Amino acid sequence: MNATLKEDLTWLYSLENMGIKLGLSNVRSLLKQLGDPQERFGAVHVAGSNGKGSISALTASILRAGGYRTGLYTSPHLVRFTERMTVNGAEISEAVLGRMISEVREMIDDGRFARPLTFFEITTALAFLHFSEEGVEEAVVEVGMGGRLDATNVVRPRCCLISPISLEHTGYLGDTVAKIAYEKASIIKENAPVISSPQSPEAARIISWMAKCRGSSLRMMGTDFQAECLDRDAEGTTVRLPSLGADVRLSLIGRYQCENAAVAAECGLALGRQIDLSRENIMDGLVRTRWPGRLEVVSQHPLTVLDVTHTPHGASVVASELDIFPGSPRILVVGMLRDKDAQGVMSLLAPHFDQVLCTSARSPRALSSQEMLTACQGSNPHCQAVEGVGKAVAEGKRLAGRNGLVMISGSLYTVGEAISHLEGQHGP
């Protein structure tokens, strides 16, 4: 990374200190200055609490299989900022990223904006500008937080997808599932079909109401379409998708990926009524999908697995999948953010491990190692604080020995730092 880009990224990251400011007026103003690039490609908009990243990756892969030049915008990243915005699977180049950040910095320095722009508003605008410049035909856009006032909610989607909704970001989105569902379901636009994962009764009620208000068709998994997990192991999952009339082998691990694949497939069928996209394209896209950090096996001896579980619902799902991974002793390395229910996550995940190493990523939003330890102690007496993700990973591998299991989990920041540590030891 050259010095200029490093400086520009440092400036961009410094805007995180402003915190989170939900609202659309700022991002709309910035996008207007950039020529409204979000108007130049079709979009699929994805909201939810758990699994929206996997659903986004699956959907983007389907569109690529259909021959469309496809953008994918997700957040946060695992290792590199450039992961957030890809075109046909290729990350934005550092040269292009640097040029775009400099352009926006000049606009801000010129005093073109009445209110300060946030990190996420700028990042979202950069992604849309990149997609426009790269001639993207269809883009999959993952919501950052909520939906109604999220910076991504300026796109005009062909289809809206909603993954399972649970309590999260309660300080911003509300303190009940119904309130949070309202924020997330507010990505639904008039006449854009809506595809939803299975939901709690409260969330399902809000989503159905919002779809009706917008005049949008709604297909809810479990009611309108199904998925059956036929086989699962540490290398992938086989899912039966009646909507496609086919069984599909995914490289993604875990039963929950069957539900995610079903939602993406249903989206593909809905898109196929708007653009040229066949059932064969949908199946091919599902098979080809890769999505790091989601029950991902990254090395053997000890078996090392990454997963970015960060909600109690997600922890419950991951806990139900641990039986496919061999190895003893079983070590959990974990670090989470302050705005997550760390105690709730640990109550579901920590009891399945022989020892838990509590650590902290290099983020101002991260719980300290000691705070993570406090959240874990009631669920597993064999836990300890280890300063630094790299040290925690090294200690976890030492404790596991050659035949054990190490799972690295929590925030994307924790898993990202773990990846950097592992790549530093063993190469990319």
**pLDDT per residue as tens digits for the range 121-171:** 999 999 999 999 999 999 999 999 999 999 999 999 999 999 999 878 777
Question: What number of CA atoms fall less than 13 Å from residue 401's CA on the CB side?
Answer: 8
Q: Average per-residue pLDDT in the chain?
A: 94
Task: Report, as an integer, the average pLDDT of 270-279.
Answer: 97
pTM: 0.92
**Which amino acid is present at 350?**
A
Task: Report, as an integer, the average pLDDT of 188-214.
Answer: 97
pLDDT in tens, 56-69: 999 999 999 999 99
Contact at 8 Å (CB) between 286 and 58?
A: yes
Is pLDDT above 50 for 428?
no
Position with higher pLDDT, 398 vs 50: 398
Assign 31 a pLDDT band (cuts: 50, 70, 90). Answer: very high
Question: What number of CA atoms fall less than 13 Å from residue 204's CA on the CB side?
Answer: 11
Is pLDDT above 90 for 381?
yes
Position with higher pLDDT, 110 vs 136: 136
Task: Report, as an integer, the average pLDDT of 365-372.
Answer: 96
Q: Looking at the domain 3-288, which fold is it?
A: UDP-N-acetylmuramoyl-L-alanine:D-glutamate ligase (3.40.1190)
For the chain, what percentages of helix, strand and coil (3-state, to nearest 5) are there? Answer: 45, 20, 35
Q: Which two tokens stand for residue 220?
A: 């809810």
- Portions of the chain given CATH number 3.40.1190.10: 3-288
- According to the model, what pLDDT value does residue 343 have? 97
Could you say which of 3.40.1350.10, 2.60.40.1480, 3.90.190.20, 3.40.50.1100 is the CATH number of the domain covering 296-426?
A: 3.90.190.20
CA separation for the pair 363, 239 (Å, rounded) = 37
User: Poorest-confidence range of 139-148, 164-173, 235-244, 389-398?
Assistant: 164-173
User: Where does 69-206 show beta strands of DSSP type E?
Assistant: 70-73, 85-87, 90-91, 138-142, 159-162, 194-196
- According to the model, what pLDDT value does residue 364 have? 85
User: 363 in helix, strand or coil?
Assistant: coil
Q: Which two tokens stand for residue 202?
A: 């409260």
Assign 427 a pLDDT band (cuts: 50, 70, 90). Answer: very low
